[in-house]
Chain A
Amino acid sequence: MIELKHINKSFNGRHVTQDFSCVFDRGKTNLIIGESGSGKTVLLKCIVGLTQVDSGEVLYDGQDFLRLNPRDKQNLRKQIGMLFQGGALFDSKTVEENITFPLAMFTDMSHEEQKDRAQFCLERVNLAQAGDLYPSELSGGMKKRVAIARAIAPNPRYLFCDEPNSGLDPKTSILIDKLIKDITEEFQMTTIVITHDMNSVMEIGEKVVFICKNQKWWEGSNQTILDTDNKELEDFIYVSKFLKELKNKKMKA
C-alpha cells in the first residue's frame, strides 16, 4: 500500500501539486488521470523520489520514503519497478541485457538463472523471441512491453507506469492495459498508472483519482466515473461532441 499525505510541490512559486492526499491499495490498478499539464507526472516523480517535494509524506507500507536515509532509500527503490513514457530502455544493451541488468546488479543469481528469469518475463509480455534484439529494432508497443518485462524482472512490490499508452494504437493500448492489470494481480503489487486515456480508465481503473487545477478533484472507480456529476470531470470524460450527445441520449433513456 502507498499512502500520500498532503503532498505539495511548486516550481518557481507556481504550484504544481497542492495538498494531495490519497491511499493506493495493494493488488489493485490505481489510475491517476487528468489533463496534460495538470501535474500527474510531477506527482509520480514525487512519489518515486525523482523530484523533491516541498512538504508532505509518501508512505510505502508505512515507511516514510522522504525521510529515509540514502541507503534505505536505495534499498526501497530496489522494490520499485517503473515504466517510463518512452520506455527508457538502455540503447546499448539488448532486450535480454536490459531485463537482466537489475538482476545482475542487485541479486546473486547466476548468469543462467538471470537468463531464465529474463525469458520468463519476456514470455509473460508475449515477446519470447525478442531477447537478442536491440531497442532500436523494436516498435513502440514492443518497447513498452520490454519495459514492463524489465520492471517486473526483480519481482517489485510497487509498479509505476507513466502514460503506458502514449503513442500506441487503441488495440495495443488495451493489450498493455490488460498486461498491467494481470501482472498487478498475479504478483500482488501496488500499481499506480498515470494516464489521460479513458479507454484505460474503463478497462483497468479499479481506483481512479482525477487531478484538476493541481489538486485531487475526484476519487472513485471505473464503475462510478461515468455517473459523476462533477463538472470538471464531466468535461474531461465527455470532451467530444459525439460523447456529449451519447451521454445526453443515455440520460434521456
Chain B
Amino acid sequence: MFNRTFFHIGRYFTMLGRVFSKPEKWGVYRKEFFHEIDSLGITSLPIIAIISLFMGAVITIQAAFGFTSPWVPLYAVGFTTRDSVILEFSPTIISLILAGKVGSNIASEIGTMRISEQIDALEIMGVNSRAFLILPKIAACVLINPFLILISMFLGIAGGWLLGTLAGVVTTYQFVYGIQYEFNSFNITYALIKTVVFAFIIASVSAYHGYYTEGGALEVGRSSTKAVVYCSILILVFNFLLTQLLLS
C-alpha cells in the first residue's frame, strides 16, 4: 500500500520533471495552448454560469431564511452571500465541478491516445510526449481558471441579488449595502491563489492518470474516474492547507 503510494508520487514528480523541460518548438506548443484554452476553459463557461447563478440565489434565500432574529439586519444577507461565494463557493466548489468536467476530459483524452499508440507515435517522432501533451493543458488551466472563477463570483453574487429581490427576501439597497459592507480585497487574492493551485492539481493529476493508462477502453474509463476522485480529494486537502496558511 505505502510502496504503491510512494511509487505513484515518485512517478508523478518524474513526469512533471519531463513536462517542464524545454519545448522542441514554442510555436507548436503555443498553438496547442490556445486550443486548450478553448477546449478546457471557454467550453466550461456555460456550466459555470448556470451553477453560479443558481447557487448564489440559493445562498441568498437560505441566508434570508436563517436570519429570523430582528437583531440581524437584512443587509447581512448580501454580506453572507458575498463571503460564501468569494471564499468558498467559487474557488472550491467550482474547482470540484471543473475536476469532474475538465479532469475526466484530460484523463480520457490522454488515456485514449495511450491505448491507441498515439503517444508511442509521438515518442517515435522524437517528441517529448509528456511536455507536448501535458504542458499546454497545465498552462491553459492555470491561466484560464482564475478568470472562470472571477466570472463565477460575479454571477453568483448577481444571481443572489436577482433572484433574492425577485423572491422578495431582500431589497436591492440592502443587498448592495451588504456586499459592500467591510469588504476585504484580500479575500479575492486568497480565492485566486486557491484557484491557481487547484487548476494545477486538476490538469497535472488528471494528465498523470491518463498518461499511465494501461490496457483498453475499460482502463481509460477507470483512469478517468480515478482522476476525478484523486483531484477532488487533493482539492479538499489543499483547500484546508491553504486556508490555514493564508487566513489563520
B residues near A86, Cβ cutoff 8 Å: 116-117
Asked if A78 is at the interface (CB within 8 A of a chain B CB), the reply is yes
Question: Could you tell me if A105 and B118 are in contact, using CB atoms closer than 8 angstroms?
Answer: no
In whole angstroms, how far apart are the Cα atoms of A27 and B27 in the complex?
A: 35
Question: Could you tell me if B116 and A88 are in contact, using CB atoms closer than 8 angstroms?
Answer: yes
Known contacts A85-B117, A104-B27; A50 and B123 CB within 8 A of each other: yes
In whole angstroms, how far apart are the Cα atoms of A82 and B25 in the complex?
A: 22
Number of interface residues of A (CB under 8 A): 24
Residues of A73-127 contacting chain B, CB below 8 A: 74-78, 80-82, 84-86, 88-91, 101-102, 104-106
Main secondary structure on chain B at its contact with chain A? Answer: helix
Residues of B109-150 contacting chain A, CB below 8 A: 112-113, 116-118, 120-121, 123-128
Other-chain residue from B24, B27, B121 in contact with A88 (beta carbon distance below 8 A): B121
B residues near A89, Cβ cutoff 8 Å: 118
Asked if A48 is at the interface (CB within 8 A of a chain B CB), the reply is yes
Q: What is the CB-to-nearest-CB distance from A165 to chain B, in angstroms, rounded to a whole number?
A: 17
B residues near A104, Cβ cutoff 8 Å: 25, 27-28
Q: What is the CB-to-nearest-CB distance from B122 to chain A, in angstroms, rounded to a whole number?
A: 9
Residues of A49-92 contacting chain B, CB below 8 A: 50, 74-78, 80-82, 84-86, 88-91
Q: What is the CB-to-nearest-CB distance from B110 to chain A, in angstroms, rounded to a whole number?
A: 12
In whole angstroms, how far apart are the Cα atoms of A104 and B116 in the complex?
A: 23
Residues of B within 8 A of A (CB): 24-25, 27-28, 112-113, 116-118, 120-121, 123-128
Closest 7 CB pairs of A and B: A77-B126, A88-B121, A88-B117, A78-B126, A84-B117, A82-B124, A74-B126
Residues of A within 8 A of B (CB): 48, 50, 74-78, 80-82, 84-86, 88-91, 101-102, 104-106, 154, 160
Apart from A80-B126, A102-B125, 9 more pairs, CB < 8 Å: A48-B124, A88-B117, A90-B113, A90-B118, A90-B121, A91-B113, A91-B116, A91-B118, A106-B125
